[in-house]
Structure 1
């Protein structure tokens, strides 16, 4: 049945550990991405065998060498549902642990998360901890965004209903199918000038994602989305395939 899917960025911060079984790439959604996932997982493990040498490749600070080392165990490490694994500002604002069982079921069915390692996963996809960003370039793979670009839009095109894109620019570079609605968080400044918000962008998107993940309202097109946002107290304006939301 058509409805809404919400595409989120990942976060650099991830919760460690987990109680789920080891990663099964063939169990993740969007099976057309499996071959690319295999290549990137293997390349990441190989480069991460020497965490210090991997730092400039992965573009990470020296404070996260333990996270880089964990890349070598991606296939065998315990897993968590993706919505519980990611732990950045957006996810804290979304506050998955506070969802009721019914809200969590709706969130699991609607939320998708972009991933440098996996392309796109669902909220309930079981994934391990890892360290890889969209800006990295892996030996044998090349740039991460370029590796995903030929595949992600086609995979997402099979989804029914409305696709709402809340990804950051780096992950939006993976591609999206025609008809995707991009949400831009903005603020009106002096003289009425509307600009993208900076510091509060992730928290605002987390609050918006929580609304879309849990609402019982019908959201099947951009007009439905604008009505939902306005009823929730947001100022939202729709132009083409972009919705500007004032935060």
Structure 2
């Protein structure tokens, strides 16, 4: 099973790993060329602050994000699972994994990044700023650039194992996963009515990712995922390959 996560806008600084080596990242053969193009473009773009702010959607107060991009080639790295922060990753709480659960999570978790494409949990990356919605000068959308490389890679992965896709819409557009299990989080009110959770959506998906990444079970289809989630005490409903995680409003 592969649990596919979105990245986060916020990223932990620092690290004790060597500078970025694109060839050391997972799926270098399929994704290396696009990664190099994007890294080179971001480093060059950092030399033009107004253009970088427009492309990245940041303000002058966030110029430190542009500085991170300028240092992409020289900054220290750390594993992707530790680099990303924010609501989803707080709920995932990778820092609390035991040696055994970290091993399972390392093989089961992957991140779909606007800069690096598909990352393994332990892939060493520096801090950076690039979102799925960013528009680099003189180029098409990031989805248009990534899909020719990511679509066949994700299709090959999905042909060999179950994929649970927890990405948000913008990152799901970077590459299609045929037959993936998808998840919505719904809040149920006392009268039985339901609505899609927005504010705490990431937190619940992070908790779900933790549950699946650390489970001793090896699910091979959506029904097996449902069994894992229900055994943990959650309410989940299945329609084909789509799951609704139902929480009290």
Deviation of 1:140 (Å): 4.0
Deviation of 1:73 (Å): 1.6
Q: Per-residue CA shift, 1:26-85, capped at 9, x if unaligned?
A: 121122011111111111111112334311111123322112111012122110000000
CA distance in structure 1 between the aligned counterparts of 2:238 and 2:149, rounded to whole angstroms: 28
* DSSP-derived class of the 2:68 partner: helix
Deviation of 1:214 (Å): 0.5
Deviation of 1:190 (Å): 6.3
Match of 2:94 in 1: 96
Match of 1:16 in 2: 13
Deviates most, 8-17 or 137-146: 137-146
Match of 1:29 in 2: 26
Q: Does 1:43 align with 2:33?
A: no
* DSSP-derived class of the 2:178 partner: coil
Q: What is the aligned length? A: 244
Q: Does 1:66 align with 2:71?
A: no
1:1-247 map, 5 Å: 4-31=1-28, 32-159=30-157, 160-189=160-189, 191-247=191-247
CA distance in structure 1 between the aligned counterparts of 2:190 and 2:173, rounded to whole angstroms: 31
CA distance in structure 2 between the aligned counterparts of 1:75 and 1:19, rounded to whole angstroms: 15
Q: 2:3 touches 2:108 (CA, 8 Å); kept in 1?
A: yes
TM-score by length of 2: 0.93
CA distance in structure 2 between the aligned counterparts of 1:166 and 1:180, rounded to whole angstroms: 10
CA distance in structure 2 between the aligned counterparts of 1:142 and 1:34, rounded to whole angstroms: 18
Q: Per-residue CA shift, 1:69-103, capped at 9, x if unaligned?
A: 11012122110000000011100111111110111
Q: 1:94 touches 1:207 (CA, 8 Å); kept in 2?
A: yes
CA distance in structure 2 between the aligned counterparts of 1:25 and 1:194, rounded to whole angstroms: 45
Structure 2 runs not aligned, ≥5 long: none
Structure 1 runs not aligned, ≥5 long: none
* DSSP-derived class of the 2:224 partner: helix
Q: 2:154 touches 2:175 (CA, 8 Å); kept in 1?
A: no
* DSSP-derived class of the 1:150 partner: helix
